[in-house]
Amino acid sequence: MKHSKNIEDLLQAGVDGQLTEAEERGLQERLASDPELAAQFHELQRQSDLIRTAVPAADPAHMQALIRNAQPQATYQPSLRLAASVVIFGLGIGLGYLLPRDGAADSQSLMIFAQQAQAAHALYVSEVLHPVEVEASERDHLQTWLSNRLGAAIIAPQLGDTGFSLIGGRLLPAGENASALFMYENSHGDRLSLLATHSGSAESQSFRFQSSADFLTIFWQDGPWKYSLVGAAPRETMDEVARSIHGQMI
Amino acid sequence: MRSFNTQLEKALPDLWRYACSLTRDRDAADDLVQDCIERALRKRLLWMPGRPLKPWLTKIMLNLYRDRWRSSARFPTTSLDFIDEIAAPNTDPITRLELRDIWRRLETIPAEQSQALLAVVVGGLSYDEAAWSLGIPRGTLMSRIARARSKLKTDPDLSSHSLRSVK
């Protein structure tokens, strides 16, 4: 006898333990009064049991080991990349707070700036509602506001050639200075951040790269300006974007 | 954070067993689950605290599995060792034959059906959770599971035949 779709669904949900108490009672009543249905139900149940029986039990100690091996602080080989990224992330935040007054060597401070940029990008990249404080539609206001806060004129670079367009920007601390963060997005929803800050030093430093598990950071210094570009795009793309910015910011 | 770790520990046994049922190989399941945890830790920011973690982990794992394992065809055939290993100690020969039969059939049905069935039966996910993990509506999930089940049904005559021939 062929049962209706509803009964089939009920049987299946019963076997899979997906019924409410009331539905379960209803099912049991039907099974009690319909031996054929009951046989069908038990056959399904047996099939599920057979499938389950064949899969090994998970050993709790082994599960713990899997978690441990995947942890960032583990020194085993597969997690090294992750460990590195977490350390860098932590350093970026830690140094950002701990050493704000230390006008250390330019190279080191540029490094720290790059780490701050990465931490900022990691924080805001997944933000759906408020990735930026001021949206690109208010570009003029954004540029004026950030220039005032930074104490030097800054423009948001145009990256149209590379497929990225400006979402907007926000003001962030960078050591004891203020910094401007511009966020860009392409049609795939990939996001890039450019963090820029203006400080006393007039040294220039060429492009440097830093990659973590999630992001690639390209940073450089152009006289008093420090820049960090952070994103998850392939290296060639990032390189192209960085060169385009470099060209526009001089 | 605490909630993330607690939920991770709680979800792991089912997740690992689901991985086993997909890959049919303990080592492969270990690799898959460990990659899944690593990715989950990296993407922790994207997980909404307070939401159930298990479906999210399952989704990550399925993506990894489809990307790597499935395409690389690393485990092309039913590993019968798998059945022997698991079911060896205390299963009677008839049940073992049935087990082999079911797992052999599982391999011949469309992956989308077996993944749905195993997510619920082995992975211990509710219909809603499994549907979310697989990125399909609940109704689709239920019909895939139903189709998988009807294809796995052992024909009583057939199994008695094979029993006789074995004897």
What mean pLDDT comes out for the span B150-165?
Answer: 59
Residue range A27-57, pLDDT digits in tens: 999 999 999 999 999 999 999 998 988 888 8
Compute CA distances A35 → A38, A52, A188, A248, whole Å.
5, 25, 57, 80
Chain B interface includes A250 (CB < 8 A) = no
* Single-letter code of the amino acid located at B1: M
Strands A134-135 and A205-211: unpaired
Closest Cβ opposite residue A67 in set B9, B86, B87 = B9
Domain boundaries, chain A: 5-54, 69-249
Count up the domains in chain B and report the number: 1
User: How confident is the prediction for chain A on average, in pLDDT?
Assistant: 83
- For residue B67, give its domain range: 2-166
pLDDT of residue B81: 60
Nearest to A52 among B13, B121, B153 (CB): B121
- Nearest chain A CA: its distance from B167 CA (Å): 22
- 3-state SS of chain A is CCCCHHHHHHHHHHHCCCCCHHHHHHHHHHHHHCHHHHHHHHHHHHHHHHHHHHCCCCCHHHHHHHHHHHCCCCCCHHHHHHHHHHHHHHHHHHHHHHCCCCCCCHHHHHHHHHHHHHHHHHHHCCCCCCCCCEEHHHHHHHHHHHHHHHCCCCCCCCCHHHCCEEEEEEEEEECCEEEEEEEEECCCCCEEEEEEEECCCCCCEEEEEEECCCCEEEEEEECCEEEEEEECCCHHHHHHHHHHHHHHHC
Alpha-carbon dihedral sign for residues B153, B158, B160, B162? negative
Question: What CATH number should be reported for the domain holding residue B93?
Answer: 1.20.140.160
Q: Of A9-18, B27-36, B40-49, give the lowest mean pLDDT range.
A: B40-49
- Tell me whether residues A58 and B13 touch, CB distance under 8 A: yes
Distance CA A53, CA B21 (A): 11
Number of Cα atoms under 13 Å in the Cβ half of residue B56 = 18
Q: What is the pLDDT of residues A209-246, one digit of tens each?
A: 888 888 899 998 888 889 999 999 888 889 889 988 88
Q: What is the rounded distance in angstroms from the CA atom of residue B25 to the CA atom of residue B8?
A: 22
What's the pTM value of the predicted model, to 2 decimals? 0.56
CA distance A99 to chain B (A): 26
**At residue B138, what is the residue type?**
R
List of chain A residues whose C-beta atoms are within 8 Å of the C-beta of residue B82 = 54
Residue whose C-alpha is closest to residue B136's, from B44, B42, B58, B53? B58
CATH superfamily of the A69-249 domain: MucB/RseB, C-terminal domain (3.30.200.100)
Cβ-Cβ contacts under 8 Å for B125 (sequence gap 6 or more): B14, B54, B55, B58, B119, B133
pLDDT in tens, A77-100: 445 555 556 665 665 555 555 444
State the pLDDT at residue A99. Answer: 44
Q: Tell me, what's the pLDDT at A104? A: 47
- pLDDT of res. A1: 44
Contact flag A54-B87 (C-beta cutoff 8 Å) = yes
CA–CA separation, A38 and A43 (whole Å): 9
DSSP 8-class letter at B167? -
Confidence class for position A26, pLDDT limits 50, 70, 90: very high
Question: Cα-atom radius of gyration of chain A, to the nearest Å?
Answer: 29
Output the 3-class SS for A84-115: HHHHHHHHHHHHHHHCCCCCCCHHHHHHHHHH
Closest CB from B30, B87, B126 relative to A18: B126
B53-100 pLDDT tens trace: 999 999 999 999 988 765 555 554 555 566 665 555 566 777 778 888
Q: Read off the pLDDT of each residue in A6-31 and give the average, rounded to a whole number.
A: 93
What are the pLDDT digits (tens) for B11-43?
A: 999 999 999 999 888 888 999 999 999 988 887
Q: What's residue A73's pLDDT? A: 52
Question: What local confidence, expressed as pLDDT, does residue A110 receive?
Answer: 86
**Contact state of B38 with A8 under an 8 Å Cβ cutoff:** no
Per-residue confidence (pLDDT) for residue B134, from 0 to 100 = 95
Sign of CA pseudo-dihedral B81, B86, B92, B96: negative
**Spatial CB neighbours of A179, under 8 Å, sequence gap ≥ 6:** A113, A116, A150, A171, A172, A173, A195, A196, A197
CA dihedral A138, A144, A147, A152 (to 10 degrees): 140
Instruction: Check CB contact under 8 Å for B127 and A16.
Output: yes
Q: Are A202 and A223 in contact (CB under 8 A)?
A: yes
From the list B38, B99, B118, which residue is nearest A82 (CB)?
B38
Scanning the structure block, which residue is given the tokens 């408020």?
A: A130
Residue B51, SS3? coil
- Check: CB of residue B34 under 8 Å from CB of residue A77: no
Share of chain A above pLDDT 90, in %: 30
